[in-house]
Structure 1
């Protein structure tokens, strides 16, 4: 059982944190530190309450997560491909030892400073983690795990100020949820795996009819390759001018990124067109080796063409038409998602219905699916999903 003097020594160790100093602002560790400095029943209860709120009451797992998610100077140095100086590595080892003692700090050890109060105070779990081993493993594989906000999140977006922000509830679509279009997804997967392997990878333009699964394919691949070091950052069309800044911010990051632009199209005089064109052709910044751009569009040529664009003299008309297709050609890979025919549509419906547990005779399922599609003017993977979701709602 830990004596009061040992608790004071542990408090002093936390005070001396340098590499992990930002952790002292964490509400759970801050509450624990207050108790270690001046034990009381109220401070103990406040610490346990904060731990309950944080993860249900397991101190070991909580401290492990704090360490793994910390974007401290040591892990940033490793992530940038540099070797931290020896004195920083020594400080890291000492601090991990201190934090290991925190992770192992059970309620009995804390309550030893409050004789006679233990029976009435709440309990929690501790221990069961190896901070040094886990941290060493993650540092050695930082290209897969990342650090800080990148370690805990798989999808991001640019907020109104252009800051990269985690998506709180990301789309959970997985590859097994997608039916047909295997050839198209295989191309995206192959290109993305090349990116993860440090090989040349192309920007991809996915075009085709609405609802055919272009966006779902990108998100599913992001989910599938998260553990291999892939992160998705969604960029709206009106944020394209922020891409050079984003590329600069990601340049030293050990992970690989897909900048995802959904439903891309421009009018011919749209300023955002020029911004994206400059990024794709590399006239704004050097080509990044850890970022690619995947864009979806319902149009083969991203710039909306007006009939007036075809008018004028021959030279002007040719220049205008060339400009209309030039942006599409700046994507290294172009993949088309065509609207499914009847057989493909019904295959998607049968797959989704079976996965959802829909109990209908095959002929009735197909008859109702076809009627549903005809009433809505066509077939698509999205429409198949909506139809099956409707059946599930009736169950």
Structure 2
């Protein structure tokens, strides 16, 4: 059985959850006897595939940005994919995102579509009116032989929003790629006592309501801080909000690679995940792996993934956020209990399990 993966996400992402997902899948699936795969990629600056174990792609203009750069990469990679599709030397095609450019070139070969979330459908107002993601996704959902949903929550959303046939959807959970290293010295000056926020902070990630909820906790304890890992430097509006709340000097932002992120998880009082919606929530598994107590929203896919290894709050309520976080930072035994439960919950998820379940789905299509 041979799987052909397309280059979409590796063209557009240097870092990101989706390209990490396909990197992990391809690295694991080539270890399975009787299964092979190709990634029709010529140009990419994606971090995860930089070792070039599966492809011989070239890295181009890594430190130079110019208008049309990624569109050029996209054109070249799609042209190569058209050649691979024309050869028909594969059994199943698996696109990495929602561009339907390949449909006219598939012949009679089936394709599998992974749906990561329904953010564009649930939070459409945050995207430009020219965004075609929903239109493209809906078309591919309709035409795919099988659909992988990365959580039961995402599957439910697919059924509710697109009226997708339930029997067509298979839930396959993701795995974890962040693991702590002992005795690392990052030469970073970070607070001893901090709440951790990871990743993007805009819109449905709910950073502003979170920071409003914890502002009184910070003002009542000068030794308590918030560390934001990744997500870019604070915007002017964020700095204004922090200043108005009187906590500007207690909230820090750091850029982070995997090693730095693991360090932040390992040393935090708690990881706070206040998102209003997630298709899966990989940071949950990252926090479990690093022994970090988790407090998060009690909605969307988060309870499905975290189980009993988290304290939950209402992400629309400042009071609920504040009270739940206050409870966890003042109860060492509760934090220890959550860490132990997190290790146990993590056993339910691995990239090998994700890959094995994906292989079974592929084989089921070919029977």
TM interval, short-chain normalised: under 0.3
More helix by share: 1
Instruction: State the TM-score, normalizing by the size of structure 2.
Output: 0.26
TM-score between both structures, scaled by the size of structure 1: 0.24
